[in-house]
Amino acid sequence: MTPRTPSSGSDPKQTAENRSAQETAAKQTVPRQATAKKTATKKAAARKTPAQKAVAKKTAAEQAPVEKAVAKKAMAKKAAAGALVPKAPAERAVAKKAARKAPARKAVAGPSAAEQAAAAGAEPVSGAEESAEKAVAKRASAKKAPARSTAKSPAKAAAEKATAKKAPAKRTVAKKAPAKRTAVKRAPAKKTTGAGAGKAVTAPPVVPAPSPALEAEDRERLLAGTHHDPHAVLGAHAVEGGVAFRAFRPYARSVTVVCGELRAELYDDGQGFFSALLPLQDVPDGYRMVVAYEETVVETEDAYRFLPTLGELDLYLIGEGRHEQLWTALGAHPMTHQGVTGTRFTVWAPNARGVRLAGTFNFWDGTGFPMRSLGSSGVWELFVPGIGEGELYKFEITRPDGSRTLRADPMARRTETPPNTSSIIHSSTYEWGDADWLARRAERPAHEAPFSVYEVHLPSWRPGLTYRQLAEQLPAYVKDMGFTHVELMPIAEHPFGGSWGYQVTGFYAPTARLGSPDDFKYLVDALHQAGIGVLMDWVPAHFPRDDWALAEFDGRPLYEHPDPRRSAHPDWGTLEFDFGRREVRNFLVANAVYWCEEFHIDGLRVDAVASMLYLDYSREPGQWVPNEHGGRENLDAVAFLQEMNATVYRRAPGVVTIAEESTAWDGVTRATHHKGPSGFGGLGFGLKWNMGWMHDSLQYMSKDPVHRRHHHHELTFSMVYAYSENYVLPISHDEVVHGKRSLVSKMPGDWWQQRANHRAYLGFMWAHPGKQLLFMGQEFAQGAEWSEAHGPDWWLLDPAYGAEADHRGVRDLVRDLNSVYRATPALWERDVHPDGFQWIVADAADDNVLAFLRLDAEGTPLLSVSNFSPVVRHDYRLGVPDDIPAWHEVLNTDAARYGGSDVTRPDPVKPEAQGWHGRPASIRLTLPPLATVWLRPA
């Protein structure tokens, strides 16, 4: 980074007399130059042909008003440049008298005032005036402005004047152009004959008149990062006398404006500010700036010449909290704007006093990149030309108290790999190949389709693999195992890997640990092409307190609730979203849509819904405030969840939303417009995790079989409420960590009995009404708890391992469960309808036996029988319908290939006319120990 050049502003040590002399000199500069110019023009005109005289006359007529305006502007604004101070009446009188005597010298290195006066035919200036002019010239020469730094002696000036008689210099003529477009042109050089014929004559560079510097208030606000509208003072603006160009380029040595053939260096006003007044009629449509630093020169478009990149509709929808594609309006977006390529940056920060942009493109110094506030929307915007894909950036926000904070973009679509926290400009170029999948996924609702889910923590499923490497292995494995869907634990960016993704800081960015956003799309595409749906855990309940992320984003509570009793999550040390604020709801609703539309996600499993629904969740009396009706329901969260579900189902056909809700809230999967007994409309989810079934069934299975008779109701109670919601039966990551042990390790008995219980439980689970979800590692009876550090114990399936067959047998069972499940509509078609289930025996507690029928839409049954005792039960009689001529065993978890004792029956079983269990017919079976058997009509 290059140091700043010394300020060229006023010297506080100057005397009032010197300042008065400088002011007098400044007053006379433009009128005296105009007089000299007119004299030279008359002399040259005397030597021209009639045609040349006509052109010269027209040119002079056109330039006269411009020159007068420049002179008037320079005198009217001289105090704003910071070099002069107001004068007392006596001083003004002295200055007025001095103004009539001699012209002031221009504030650049060049001929002295005496030399200028001699060249113009005026009387010499006095000694005091000459001294003041020298002081001004000395300070101006420190600016090292190349276009104005060459001093000319009287002899040299006379020589150049003589040369000009032979070849007249090209003049700059500002011609009128159509509205909003200014063409800055030069008159073509006059052709010559003889030795000089055919050679173009180059005009000297345009020397702009000094432009008034920014007012002190604007300078201070820009330097402090608190300016709401930098575009109003920076860039090019039509003013009286021409067009004022202003630039704020800290550490620059010089700034030159280039527009067509026009090239004009701006005056250095100090502290990184540059300005000039050019004799143009209108602001040019396009111009560039050449910025010279100590070691480099950069040519770029001026970021402050562009109109806002957001339209009124975008701002209106953001203000209303109804922008369903919010990610297209906020964040960083490479684009072409007004014919120029660059990146648009927008951020919502309504409490900020100012916002600046910092990144790799400005060496993380946002001083020279202030953003503008777009009215009352709270949105700040800046289009930066010339930067694009891959650049890192953050927003430097000036808080209401004047302090500053550097924040990652809440809408960033790509981030650095943690622990780094910068946002990255991203533009997707991925081309999808899953059109057939998307066209078919809406053909059948999720609750009436086969739906068995393999839950995966991507970073640890195969540690070290990227998204694209996972795409070569995960789809093949899941397809081989027969699962219909994968559920990915939160994929959005999170700073701490140990949170497993449940404390999100980058809600719009897939974690960079495994690759880029397009790499993640590649994985989703590969799963779809393998016929596998993709669900994703989504966390709208809370967010961490990291000081570079969402917490008090612009200096005050913004995304979190302003009331600490409602913002602090008591369990996780995080902050809860303010669901009552429409912009926050919009941020989250659009985020749900974003994953479905941009990444083709087929479903969102919404985490921690219960903590959102209740104001007193994990809070003691006095730690929470009732709602407006005196209740404990969080009405804002209810409205948010209803809006989110309605929006997702409307915009993304075939997508399913799933609630992790652990209470008895009424209507989680009921339509939002249908009110229940509680008076609330439904939340609108497609499915709900059945946490009650999971807790009760695992409690039963953990008991020794001799004690299970006392807990028999824990397996049957789920059917009391099975049809109150559309359920998923989850054995998730939460059940196999933090001392809860893995699924097989929860089972009682020796290793054989543990595996047998494990297999019997899975058979019961796949037959029970509801959809299935199994966490990775449990499909092959991993004995250890899961750890995100090393993932599943795949080595258990190594043929060189002595007990490999035991684990492989369980995995083979899961594969067959999924295969039979998908081929048997009775197991999924009527999952949410009571007529799809019938008990055969539910009260055989002493036998530890349960039997029931599952029925498809045509009434075709499947019989499931579970024996959770470790003994073989011979000739066990079960009542069955009398219209089935024979039953055939299609799955037995005790089969030898699964690691069981192989108590199976390959032959069909024919019903007997003896009624049993309230049925007109019955069959006699030999029930294997700790096993589940499925039979269907032969």
Active site residues per annotation: 607, 660
DSSP string, 320-351: HT--TTGGGTSEEEEEEETTEEEEEEEEE-TT
Place of tokens 């939460």: 734
What are 9's two structure tokens? 């502003």
Contact 567, 560 (CB under 8 A): yes
Say how many C-beta atoms besides its own lie within 10 A of residue 501's C-beta.
Answer: 24
Give the three-class secondary structure for 386: coil
Specify burial of residue 395 (Cβ count, 10 A radius: 0-12, 13-18, 19+). buried
Give the three-class secondary structure for 259: strand
Distance CA 473, CA 467 (A): 10
Distance CA 734, CA 12 (A): 70
What are 609's two structure tokens? 């819904």
φ and ψ of 547, to 5 deg: -80, 5
Specify burial of residue 704 (Cβ count, 10 A radius: 0-12, 13-18, 19+). exposed
What are 276's two structure tokens? 């000039």
Number of residues that this document lists for the chain: 938
Contact 623, 565 (CB under 8 A): yes
CA distances from 117 to 35, 133, 875 (A): 11, 13, 128
Q: At what angle do helices 16-46 and 89-99 cross, to 10 degrees?
A: 20
DSSP string, 875-897: EEEEEE-TT-S-EEEEEETT-GG
- Which residues are CB-contacts of 541 (< 8 A; sequence separation ≥ 6)? 569, 576, 577, 607, 608, 609, 611, 612
Place of tokens 């017919």: 921
DSSP string, 86-102: ---HHHHHHHHHHHTT-
